[in-house]
Chains A and B, each alone.
Chain A
């Protein structure tokens, strides 16, 4: 399977703490994206990082990409209870336009 791996599978933190999720993938990519999904709901696009970028910020989100290690991380700073959700990375392998999703991290932020 081409599916990416994410770790941890589940993460539980206190409000105000930072949350870090990691994603590893298997092929060369055009870009990597992070999505959030609240329970039973659709996907919310968070951030896209291209293969020639190493780091990107958006509000409380910071994404890094290491193409040599085929890995990415998502950092959520100063977490809030509303950040409780599942987070998925999705890669677009070079030469395709298909999305390959990671296994996901279930984040729980305790108030």
Chain B
């Protein structure tokens, strides 16, 4: 069945460094992918919509220069947390709709980012 993978599953980095998280759709193409952030014991908050071949669309309050999104191919979107700080520590989850414009989505397993 359709699967979305994320890499890495867990990353620890030092404050001030940048971290790249990959989201891949396996066995299907995704012109759109979504990135979410989840703080401990809280819900998922949509950060941005990643669009293949064009700029990402960011939700209100999300800094686009802080969270760089690149959707260079139909199966890969990357989220780069630039100049990470401890407050960026969170669980980052991506998702992709199986069909273009479809509302049923598949979620990746998530990436746990810890900034020390």
Interaction A to B: yes
Is B97 within 8 A of A43, CB to CB? no
In the assembled complex, the CB of B66 is this many whole angstroms from the nearest CB of chain A, namely 20
How many angstroms from the CA of A45 to the CA of B110 in the assembled complex?
A: 14
Which residues in B have their C-beta under 8 angstroms from that of A103? Answer: 42-43
Q: Given A30-B103, A40-B91, A42-B93, answer yes or no on A101-B44 (Cβ-Cβ < 8 Å).
A: yes
Secondary structure dominating the interface of A: strand
How many angstroms from the CA of A4 to the CA of B12 in the assembled complex?
A: 31
How many angstroms from the CA of A33 to the CA of B45 in the assembled complex?
A: 16
How many angstroms from the CA of A103 to the CA of B45 in the assembled complex?
A: 10
Q: Is B7 part of the contact surface with A, judged by Cβ < 8 Å?
A: no
Interface window among A58-66, A75-83, A91-99: A91-99
Which residues in A have their C-beta under 8 angstroms from that of B42? Answer: 103-104
Q: Is A34 part of the contact surface with B, judged by Cβ < 8 Å?
A: no
Residues on A facing B (Cβ under 8 Å)? 3, 30-31, 33, 35, 40-43, 45, 48, 88, 92, 97-104, 106
